[in-house]
Structure 1
Amino acid sequence: MKNDQIKNIIFDLGDVILNIDVPIASRSFADLSGREQSEILTIFKESEIFRHFETGLMDEPSFRNYVREILDFPDLSDEAIDTAWNSLLLDLPPERVELLKKLAAKYRIFLLSNTSSIHITQVNKILKASTGVERLEDLFETVFLSYEMGLMKPDPRIYQQVLEQAGLKAEETLFLDDNADNIRSAAGLGIETIHVQKPVTILEYLKDYAV
């Protein structure tokens, strides 16, 4: 049901705008290194490599070098690492971009994503191939990315920073995310939330806002 107080809409990226399949990345690294997927998942979890990369504690060369180190695979190429890491990024349905354009005529719209620079480069390629739109910044008033902010959802500080930087009131702001922890954290600040759960998409969740 539409909340008539809403003036601003903040979107997550993965599985909200862009379809993703996170386990594909660990399978890709398993195939590259000749290890079991379960072992890859354990290595990545213990090293916290993706949290470090997605909060900006590592740049791209440091990330790639650390992948080589923890997989004990010094000859792994930059391209192979990037391809494996990006393999979880699937398609971006054009109708979702059309929805964003409609909403932008009535609301201030923003993106807030836990992500890395390698992913964003690839997402922009997918976006252009699918819709002709050059980059995410062309669709949103501001694109807030975890690796640039030094914070990750569900840390409440990341939502507070978005509200303050954009000059938004929590009660006038709607946030859509596929992660329940992220939704709870935003709701705790008084932000209106929608927990996006497949197979339902933003086309259905936001149909009343787009008319």
Structure 2
Amino acid sequence: MESTLNTTTLKNIIFDLGDVIIPIDLTAPIRNFAMLANLPEDEVRDLWMQHDIVGQYETGLIDDEAFRSHVRQLVKTRNDAPDGWADEVIDTAWNTILLDLPVERLERVKELTTKYRVFLLSNTSPIHIRRVNDVLKGMNQPTLEEIFEKVYYSYAVQMMKPSPEIYQHVLADAGLIAGETAFLDDNAANIKAAAGLGIQAIHVQPPLTILDHLKDV
């Protein structure tokens, strides 16, 4: 896996979203659904994994309504609401994965768009993307779709990292050459898959951020 960029050939940069641009807490939604349902966190986590709700949702196999329905069915709520949790309750708990967005990272990405073709590639869901864009608007910032030349969401292309096919799709769709393209992600498996295709893959891990990795480009 690459640790530095070959800036002489660099023309394109692909960013992951979670823990690269916006910090996330992967454990928060399960913790919050468990509290809402008055169930042990381990039990909710096991149900989540057993039924692969996230995988189905983030590859577009189920839509928002079906996702919420699955949550209601799997995590049987112990309250008096006849139809279980309201949509807003589920969405709010699901969005607790998203932490405060560091504006300096966003500004750096915007600067890079003046020199490079810049893209977003994220394993994500529609509820999360709507929330991120709402946060951006509240910060008087452009939406993700306005910042990047093109965004590639797993639920829209119906593929997920680290499948090689999703990287090949982005390269082909955007007309990119792998060796001229950098990809920044926090997940080692995603980085390994991208590097296997000849992409300049940078593993973003604390305490370093994209501000450190991209300071000289």
SS of 2:197 mapped into structure 1: coil
Q: Which residue of 1 aligns with 2:150?
A: 142
Q: Which residue of 2 aligns with 1:89?
A: 98
SS of 1:5 mapped into structure 2: coil
Matches for 1:117-128 after TM superposition, within 5 Å:
117-128=126-137
Q: Tell me, yes or no, if the aligned pair for 2:15 and 2:119 is still in contact at 8 Å.
A: yes
Q: Which residue of 2 aligns with 1:166?
A: 174
Q: Which residue of 1 aligns with 2:204?
A: 196
Q: Tell me, yes or no, if the aligned pair for 1:2 and 1:208 is still in contact at 8 Å.
A: no
Structure 1: segments with no counterpart, 5+ residues: none
Q: Which residue of 2 aligns with 1:42?
A: 46
The CA RMSD measured in Å over matched residues stands at: 0.9
Q: Which residue of 1 aligns with 2:22?
A: 18
Share of identical aligned residues, percent?
53
Structure-1 separation of matches of 2:24 and 2:101: 9
Q: Which residue of 1 aligns with 2:35?
A: 31
What is the CA-CA distance between 1:68 and the residue it aligns to?
0.5
Count of aligned pairs between the two proteins: 208
Structure-2 separation of matches of 1:177 and 1:55: 18
CA deviation digits over 1:94-134, x for unaligned, max 9?
A: 1111101111111000000000000000011122223x123
Q: Which residue of 2 aligns with 1:67?
A: 71
Structure-1 separation of matches of 2:110 and 2:94: 29
**How high is the TM-score relative to the length of structure 2?**
0.94
Structure 2: segments with no counterpart, 5+ residues: 78-82
CA deviation digits over 1:8-34, x for unaligned, max 9?
A: 000000000011111111110011111
CA deviation digits over 1:142-161, x for unaligned, max 9?
A: 00000000000000000000
CA deviation digits over 1:164-205, x for unaligned, max 9?
A: 000000010000000000000001111011000012110011
Q: Tell me, yes or no, if the aligned pair for 1:91 and 1:126 is still in contact at 8 Å.
A: no
Instruction: Give structure 1 regions of 4+ aligned residues with deviation exceeding 2 angstroms.
Output: none
Structure-1 separation of matches of 2:166 and 2:102: 27
